[in-house]
Amino acid sequence: MKKRVVVTGLGAITPIGNGKQEFWQALLEGKSGVARITRFDPTDYTTQIAGEVKNFDATQYIDKKEAKRMDRFTQFAIAAAKMALEDSGLDLKTEDLQRIGTVVGTGIGGIDTLNDQYKVLFDKGPNRISPFFVPMMIANMAAGQVSINMGLQGPCSCVITACATGTNSIGDAFKIIQRGDADVMFAGGTEAAVSPAAMAGFCSMKALSTRNDEPEKASRPFDKGRDGFVMGEGAGIVVLESLEHAVARGATIYAEISGYGTNADAYHITAPAPEGVQAAKCMELAVKDAGIQTTDVDYINAHGTSTPLNDKNETLAIKALFGDHAAKLAISSIKSMTGHLLGASGGIEFIATVLTVANDMIPPTINYETPDPELDLDYVPNTARKQAVNIALSNSFGFGGHNATLLVKKFQA
């Protein structure tokens, strides 16, 4: 028998707010977190804007000495995990820590540390490299440090599937609990790639919006004027539990996670496969895993990157799978407000999806001004919508052809 899995804790570090409540309120108000980059001088870059995390002090969550030995992506992960822990009401002192695990992924990892230490290497030589360089930089360290900081001794792993990372991480954690290998999992994604090298690389690819004079309007998923995605940073970590464990401790349950689909385009290193065929199949896998019909789905939290190809292909994928029902679906992209958090995007978008189901409120797609004739679905433009949402999907599609979809249901005992 597959165990039922529920969501009991939410932790978010985002460009529009830190903590579940601040993040959710900003989504409903349609606030943009995109502005001119402050972490370095972007003057020479074709794209000079990003969704940076504001008002973040790592020492609120981590000992000052330890924080200095962590890259920013790891600091974000620990902060979000501790927020999720507090939100869940779990008392780790009374839990079997061997039954609590961690799946926290990242798309890029410690690129700030890599940048800094390469400068040291070239300027001062190899003997001046920090002994903490490798454990600060490596991608698995966010998962490792969350586990170490909380004493979690269950399954611990790191997913790296580019922009699908956060969604794959939560999906993998869901399956670990479902098959009985853990009672509780901390899962999600983290990213801190608003750095000189990463920005230069994405600029060189011509993947980013160059709407530098209107930062807040730069990310515009599904709008005809979309010209590329906007980089973001942050972390989204959730607490998942088996239903029986959550009920036994009297936990507050936000929603139930009951479906997970993942597959590959097997097509191109960056471009999505034409017509969104495999993206449609990925959503279908999640629907089948949950044992429901496509007509049962009310809402899709779209990958919605604000790039010409992604938004078109995701729309085609939705039409291919849902047929006539596609016109009845509410669809929105919170990347219009947060920018694209790469490996962390699936984590914060899953949190937004869970809160949508729990509150029957759909966050909008902001900056939707000019409809694209080829994209003709309901993208919940510009204003949040009060609407019953019993079943929702959250999509993530990453470079390399990685696809992942999670299905969230309103909880019923």
> Annotated catalytic residue: which of 156, 245, 282, 340?
340
Strand, helix or coil for residue 227: coil
CB 345 within 8 Å of CB 335 = yes
Give catalytic status of residue 163 as yes or no. Answer: yes
- Residue 390 φ/ψ, nearest 5 degrees: -95, -30
Cα–Cα distance measured from residue 108 to residue 138, given in angstroms and rounded to the nearest whole number: 9
DSSP for 108-130, written as a single string = S-SHHHHHHHHHHHHHH-GGGS-
Give me Rg for the CA atoms of the chain. Answer: 20
> Annotated catalytic residue: which of 156, 245, 282, 303?
303
Work out the widest C-alpha separation in the chain, in whole angstroms: 65
At 246, which helix (H) or strand (E)? helix 243-248
At 67, which helix (H) or strand (E)? helix 64-67
- Tally of CB atoms within 10 A around 17: 23
Q: Which residues have CB under 8 Å from 145's CB, separation 6+?
A: 70, 74, 77, 78
> Annotated catalytic residue: which of 156, 163, 203, 282?
163
Give catalytic status of residue 303 as yes or no. Answer: yes
Burial tier of 179 (Cβ tally within 10 Å: 0-12, 13-18, 19+): exposed
Q: What is the DSSP letter of 217?
A: G
**Annotated active-site positions, please?**
163, 303, 340
